């Protein structure tokens, strides 16, 4: 392969799909698209190490639709895309529909995920569909209701396969597989390749084209700012102002913190929305749309809710609270600095908060084999860290402990206040 092609016309896509990509604002294919599209069109299995942000969705969506243009129509889906979360499933279906809307032939893209009533999804499948995008659990429900037959599936996509596995996918997968034809063309996308995935790929893929993207490391500046827990929201406000960021994702650990921080920002005139697992599907979609359209500048989210989301052009990701797992840190910060744009990732390190402990951040640094220098910003210097310094020979008792107590009380209040009525 020359690897030199830098326009969609060179990838073997029919003109209608080249136009569809252009109409979506995709001028040049991303590296994963450059490699995956011709492989999929050639009927090969694909194993791609590609994260959200690399353009992987279009890397399979475009050639899938190209295959549909060539295939004979039938009642059952000819392509099945499995995704680990409802947001990812919905977004994948949206992109497929966006591309499909410009094609000379009409294709029906069906989407199904849990957490909402199954009946409309069953109804929507009545006339059959061309592509089925689903989370595994809901797909099994649809199969149990006899709402769907997978025997006509020619192409299977496992998107974010590492996350599918993390969600205890194996058993569900075995049950789905029993209903599929023996060896569909299989495309597997994953941000990481844990050992458990190896077995799945061995069993599933035949002589796959392997795609690993080492060409374009994301351009993300990482910062770690030491601050007292109670000062995090003021510091967040300060950063938002100082950098004039237009679209920011703030990560917190709990549903309550997401609502609370978003409320605090609103109260200070910053348009912010919360995204967490307890929001209805409608509310999630709404807040995401608000971020995309610029109505909301800051989205305060939990990891679970933010998984796999398409949030274009984020200026920064803020770890208001650190993720528990170091791998989540990589996922979180990978949401900025996408598609060749610059991004910032800022982590708050608080000596007085277990979710932001210095020791925990050190583990994260170790995992990603990268040191992030600690900073303190004027006006936000932490008291707790200053006390540590005094313990090792500083001026004893220079800090009034009353202030500490006040701050601790404020921090405690921040975690116990009732959520605002919606
Ligand atoms: P994904 O990796 O599929 O989650 O895509 C990440 C983001 O990049 C999405 O917002 C896409 O709309 C955008 N994107 C994907 N491919 C391209 C491309 N070739 N040119 C510009 N933007 C793209």
What pLDDT digit, counting tens, does each position of 255-292 carry?
A: 999 999 999 999 999 999 999 888 877 888 788 888 88
Give the chain's end-to-end CA distance (angstroms, integer): 55
| Residues in CB range of 385: below 8 A, 6 or more apart | 226, 351, 376
Judge if the beta carbon of residue 218 lies within 6 A of ligand 1: no
What ligand 1 atom has the least distance to the C-alpha of 24?
Answer: 12
CATH number for the domain running over 8-212: 3.40.50.300
What ligand 1 atom has the least distance to the C-alpha of 26?
Answer: 20
Q: How many CA atoms lie within 13 A of 250 on its CB side?
A: 32
What is the CA 418 to chain-centroid distance, rounded? 29
Query: Which one, of 225, 220, 262, lies nearest residue 242 by Cα?
Result: 225
Residue 308's pLDDT is 59
- Range in 120-124, 214-218, 324-328 with the lowest mean pLDDT: 214-218
Q: Are 8-212 and 219-411 the same fold in CATH?
A: yes
Q: Where do we find the tokens 């919360």?
A: 274
What pLDDT digit, counting tens, does each position of 48-71 carry?
A: 998 777 889 999 999 999 999 998
Radius of gyration of the chain (CA): 24
User: How far away, in angstroms, is 238 Cα from ligand 1 center?
Assistant: 30
Residue 108's pLDDT is 96
pLDDT band at 333 (very low <50, low <70, confident <90, very high): confident
| Residues in CB range of 406: below 8 A, 6 or more apart | none
Q: How far apart are CA 344 and CA 248, in angstroms?
A: 10
What ligand 1 atom has the least distance to the C-alpha of 339?
Answer: 8
pLDDT band at 414 (very low <50, low <70, confident <90, very high): very low
Taking CA atoms only, the protein residue closest to ligand 1 atom 22 is 26
Look at the domain 219-411 and name its fold: Rossmann fold (3.40.50)
Residue 187's CB: how many other CB atoms inside 10 A? 29
- Range in 99-103, 112-116, 363-367, 414-418 with the lowest mean pLDDT: 414-418
User: How far away, in angstroms, is 52 Cα from ligand 1 center?
Assistant: 9
Which of 9, 50, 58, 91 for mutating ligand 1's site (highest number of atoms within 8 Å of CB)? Answer: 58
Q: What is the DSSP string of 338-404?
A: GGG-EEEEEEEE-TT-GGG-HHHHHHHHHHTT----EE--TT---HHHHHHHHHTTS-TT-S-HHHH
pLDDT band at 338 (very low <50, low <70, confident <90, very high): low
| Residues in CB range of 89: below 8 A, 6 or more apart | 81, 83, 111, 112, 113, 133, 134, 135
Residue 218's pLDDT is 66
Confidence check: pLDDT of 23 > 70: yes
What is the tally of helices (H) and strands (E) in the chain? 17, 14
User: How far away, in angstroms, is 326 Cα from ligand 1 center?
Assistant: 25
Residue 377's pLDDT is 95
Which of 31, 50, 57 for mutating ligand 1's site (highest number of atoms within 8 Å of CB)? Answer: 57
- Are residues 227 and 411 in contact, defined by beta-carbon separation less than 8 angstroms? no
Judge if the beta carbon of residue 168 lies within 6 A of ligand 1: no
What ligand 1 atom has the least distance to the C-alpha of 8?
Answer: 19
What ligand 1 atom has the least distance to the C-alpha of 21?
Answer: 19
What pLDDT digit, counting tens, does each position of 290-310 carry?
A: 888 889 999 999 987 666 565
Confidence check: pLDDT of 422 > 50: no
DSSP state of 182: S
User: How far away, in angstroms, is 25 Cα from ligand 1 center?
Assistant: 9
- Are residues 102 and 67 in contact, defined by beta-carbon separation less than 8 angstroms? no
- Are residues 185 and 154 in contact, defined by beta-carbon separation less than 8 angstroms? yes
User: How far away, in angstroms, is 54 Cα from ligand 1 center?
Assistant: 6
Query: Which one, of 34, 11, 380, 92, lies nearest residue 215 by Cα?
Result: 34
Judge if the beta carbon of residue 336 lies within 6 A of ligand 1: no
User: How far away, in angstroms, is 313 Cα from ligand 1 center?
Assistant: 10
- Are residues 212 and 71 in contact, defined by beta-carbon separation less than 8 angstroms? no
Q: How far apart are CA 119 and CA 123, in angstroms?
A: 6
Residue 203's pLDDT is 85
Confidence check: pLDDT of 410 > 60: no
pLDDT band at 156 (very low <50, low <70, confident <90, very high): very high
Average pLDDT (192-210) is 86
Confidence check: pLDDT of 330 > 50: yes
Taking CA atoms only, the protein residue closest to ligand 1 atom 14 is 55
Q: How far apart are CA 39 and CA 247, in angstroms?
A: 35
- Are residues 256 and 378 in contact, defined by beta-carbon separation less than 8 angstroms? no
pLDDT band at 353 (very low <50, low <70, confident <90, very high): confident
Q: Which residue would you say has higher pLDDT here, 370 or 184? A: 184
Judge if the beta carbon of residue 340 lies within 6 A of ligand 1: no
| Residues in CB range of 136: below 8 A, 6 or more apart | 82, 164, 167, 169, 172, 173, 176
Taking CA atoms only, the protein residue closest to ligand 1 atom 7 is 53
What is the CA 415 to chain-centroid distance, rounded? 26
Domain ranges of the chain: 8-212, 219-411
Query: Which one, of 40, 68, 54, lies nearest residue 157 by Cα?
Result: 40
User: How far away, in angstroms, is 45 Cα from ligand 1 center?
Assistant: 22
Angle of CA points 279, 285, 419, to nearest 5°: 30
Confidence check: pLDDT of 147 > 70: yes
Report percent pLDDT > 70 for the chain. 85
Taking CA atoms only, the protein residue closest to ligand 1 atom 15 is 55
Residue 406's pLDDT is 45
Query: Which one, of 14, 28, 105, lies nearest residue 62 by Cα?
Result: 14
Reduced to 3 states (helix: H, G, I; strand: E, B; else coil), residue 301 is strand
Beta-sheet strands, E only, within 248-309? 248-252, 272-275, 298-302
């Amino acid at each position: 392969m020359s690897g030199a092609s830098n326009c969609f016309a060179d990838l073997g896509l029919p003109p209608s799909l080249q136009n569809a990509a252009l109409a979506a604002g995709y001028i040049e294919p991303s590296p994963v698209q450059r490699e995956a599209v011709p492989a999929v069109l050639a009927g090969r299995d694909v194993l791609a190490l590609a994260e959200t942000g690399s353009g992987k969705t279009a890397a399979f969506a475009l050639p899938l639709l190209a295959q549909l243009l060539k295939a004979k129509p039938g009642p059952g889906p000819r392509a099945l895309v499995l995704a680990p979360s409802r947001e990812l499933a919905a977004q994948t279906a949206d992109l497929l529909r966006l591309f499909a809307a410009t094609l000379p032939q009409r294709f029906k893209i069906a989407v199904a995920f849990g957490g909402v009533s199954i009946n409309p999804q069953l109804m929507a499948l009545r006339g059959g569909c061309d592509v089925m995008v689903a989370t595994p659990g809901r797909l099994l429900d649809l199969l149990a209701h006899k709402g769907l037959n997978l025997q006509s599936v020619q192409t299977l996509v496992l998107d974010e396969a590492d996350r599918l596995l993390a969600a205890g996918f194996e058993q569900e997968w075995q049950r789905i597989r029993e209903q599929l034809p023996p060896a569909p063309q299989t495309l597997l996308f994953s941000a990481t390749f844990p050992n458990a995935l190896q077995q799945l790929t061995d069993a599933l893929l035949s002589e796959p084209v392997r795609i690993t993207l080492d060409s374009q490391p994301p351009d993300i500046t990482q910062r770690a700012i030491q601050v007292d827990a109670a000062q995090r929201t003021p510091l967040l406000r300060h950063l938002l102002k100082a950098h004039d960021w237009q679209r920011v994702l703030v990560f917190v650990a709990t549903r309550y913190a997401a609502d609370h921080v978003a409320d605090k920002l609103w109260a200070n005139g910053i348009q912010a929305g919360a995204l967490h697992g307890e929001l209805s599907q409608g509310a999630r979609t709404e807040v995401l749309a608000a971020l995309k359209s610029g109505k909301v500048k800051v989205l305060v989210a939990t990891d679970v809710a933010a998984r796999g989301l398409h949030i274009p052009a984020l200026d920064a990701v803020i770890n208001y609270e650190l993720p528990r797992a170091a791998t989540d840190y990589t996922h979180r910060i990978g949401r900025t600095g996408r598609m060749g744009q610059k991004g910032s990732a800022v982590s708050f390190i608080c000596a007085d908060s277990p979710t932001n402990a210095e020791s925990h951040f050190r583990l994260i640094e170790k995992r990603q084999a990268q040191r992030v220098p600690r900073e303190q910003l004027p006006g936000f210097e932490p008291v707790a860290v200053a006390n540590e310094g005094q313990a090792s020979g500083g001026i004893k008792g220079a800090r009034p402990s009353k202030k500490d107590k006040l701050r601790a009380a404020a921090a405690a209040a921040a975690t116990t206040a009732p959520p605002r009525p919606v």
